[in-house]
Amino acid sequence: MPWWVKTLVVLGIWGVMVFAGVVAYFAYDLPEISQVAQFQRRPAVTVLAADGSKLARFGDMRGETLEVSEISPDLVHAVLAVEDRRFYSHFGVDPIGIARAAWTDYRTGHMRQGASTITQQLARNLFLSPAKTMRRKVQEAMLALMLEHRYTKDQILGAYLNRVYLGSGTYGVDAAARTYFDKPATEVNLREAAIIAGLLKAPSKYSPSANNERAEQRMAVVLATMVDAGYITVEQAKAVVNQPAQPRANPAVEGDGRYFAAWVADQVNAFIGPNHGDLVVHTTYDAKMQRAATAHVAEILNGPGAAANVHQAAVVIMAPDGAVKAMVGGRDYDESQFNRATQALRQPGSSFKPFVYLAALEAGRTPDDLILDAPYKRGKWEPKNYEPGYMGEIPLRTALAHSVNTATIRLLESVGIDRAIAVARRLGITAPLRRDLSLALGTSEVTPLELTGAYTAIANGGRAVFPYGITEIRDADDSVLYQRKGSGAGYAIAAAEDANLVRMMMGVVQVGTGKSAQLADRPIAGKTGTTQDYRDAWFMGFTADYVTGVWLGNDDGDEMKRITGGTLPAKLWKAIMTDLEQGLPVRDLIPLQPAAVQDQAPDGPAVPPLPTVETVPLDGAPTAAATPDPGVPTVDTTGQVKPEAVQKEEDQDDDKDVPDQTPSNKPDPIGDLLNKLKKEE
């Protein structure tokens, strides 16, 4: 035997041994494919509106397990076209696909295409982690070969179609078809099949229940791929593309009711614990109110708000017992799931002042008692009113109606900071509150939800409420696991003081800073709020039927263009409440109180008389607010505030509208597809 033959034999033996060693290295911890992995899913939580209609669903869902022959052929072909068009010809790994992907990546200079077959994807989904490592890729290929050896092509494709994740907590094409189109996978048409297949690239991004426009664009790409693969004709693709866009699937969550749904879903574990199965959650949600709130928020943000640098909003609509009927947590749930109604802590500005005036009423003051409006200075802190000039001694009702800062600070100084904080706590404010005189100007941050809840106690005759959205929770067997009982925390305000405060807040709308919120046919009460440099603008108000809180601002605290609580927030409140009150009878804001209610203020420390006029000039326009010096120490309990926290309240009655913003042109991917299809013709 020649030497070179011996050399080749030896090298061959060593090569086989090395190859066997490599295979053994990657195969020693491979799972047994005969034991298919158990499907693990999160329990499904279905959220229902107050009328019993479906609002949203969280968690995971599987549909029926179907054979390939039972699934709509259009759906099978769409998946094969975009994922693995040579599925029925390769042996589990696609060398042609690998070569094509490698060449594309080489030409572009970066990774753009993958080459995993459906068999490889199934192996990864069943047995491996998603980690992008060489070991995982090799094991994925080995498992694919083993699956192809043991099972038929239809069995492998069926297992893939029944288990693949397709967004919104759905696993398998049948669950996706039922979730997005309310029909089984056996009945989907070509358009629906293309949308479902399009989800495979990025389920969250292309979900029709999250972004219908994006789903339609991806559908067009899938149709073009099906034409290229020979599954449909150009004419069929054109017919689908030229159809009018279908409305968003799951219309119950239209209008960003998802902010509300996510809020209540997050509370479920607190009521029944984390270890539970599938649940049905009944809520207080009202779809009609939600649509009204969402539509008017969009009008403001896309119209005058856009020109005034207003990018975000929050709205809470509450019934007198604390039931949250609707909630806007931001401009767009798809862009940001951060709920500004329940999670954002923002300074309320003068919308905090009613708590100070209620503390004064409980301490024996009356709406007609006089308080001084004059320049005020404590150390380096010199807060100003929004309007120039001072009015001298004015009634408390006038000070609240016109949101006079200097008068409110003097009132808080007289009544006592602790008493005002105690009032806010009784009414439901749980956020930390500053213990200094800037509290009068709303420098302590609160959420729109808790501030609306506190106003509800004023609106309903003095009963403190716990804002709630869940009325009942049932399990999959329809057994009641939780049912709301009780009506709140009881009376927190005596009838006389509550009636006086409501009348004073009616004055805010009739003659003060909130005139833009007036409703033509019924009485309302409320309060405006604006913070320093126009970072936050509020209108909090109520009728006899509902309490609605409105906040406008920017997530980063960027300054709005002279937007105060009396401008866009008041107008937004009016637009929403006009829709809500349509058809309801006109009712008094101050109903008769139950005889059992004690008509007296809660116990508290004695309050000194209101301060007299100080020897300071009352004429002349105010100067700009004092600029704080760096390094000033924090306030102590005497009421001396540190300048960097000073809140300049800027409420006014300004009915000037800001011009609408012209919408920009958008690209037309559907049109691009049509051009491509014409060229292919």
CA angle at 15 for the pair 13 and 20, rounded to the nearest 5°: 95
Angle between helices 190-198 and 212-229 (to 10 degrees): 100
Read off the tokens for 504.
């004073």
Residue 622 DSSP label: P
**CA distance linking residue 478 with residue 171, whole number of Å:** 24
Contact between residue 83 and residue 229 where contact means Cβ atoms under 8 Å apart: no
The identity of residue 80, as a single letter, is: L
DSSP string, 589-621: SSPPPPTTS--SPPP----PPPP---SS---SP
User: Does the annotation mark 83 as catalytic?
Assistant: yes
Angle between helices 73-83 and 153-163 (to 10 degrees): 90
Strands 61-62 and 170-171: parallel
End-to-end CA distance of the chain: 64
Using DSSP's 3-state secondary structure scheme, residue 48 falls into strand
Per annotation, catalytic residue among 72, 116, 207, 350: 350
**CA distance linking residue 611 with residue 365, whole number of Å:** 13
Contact between residue 552 and residue 566 where contact means Cβ atoms under 8 Å apart: no
**CA distance linking residue 66 with residue 64, whole number of Å:** 6
The separation between CA 358 and the C-alpha centre of its own chain, rounded to angstroms, equals 33
Contact between residue 173 and residue 166 where contact means Cβ atoms under 8 Å apart: yes
Read off the tokens for 570.
């008041």
CA angle at 405 for the pair 403 and 409, rounded to the nearest 5°: 125
DSSP string, 95-129: HHHHHHHHHHHHHHTS-------HHHHHHHHHHS-
Per annotation, catalytic residue among 72, 83, 444, 497: 83
Contact between residue 532 and residue 552 where contact means Cβ atoms under 8 Å apart: no
Contact between residue 578 and residue 292 where contact means Cβ atoms under 8 Å apart: no
User: Does the annotation mark 614 as catalytic?
Assistant: no
Contact between residue 665 and residue 549 where contact means Cβ atoms under 8 Å apart: no
User: Known catalytic residues?
Assistant: 83, 350
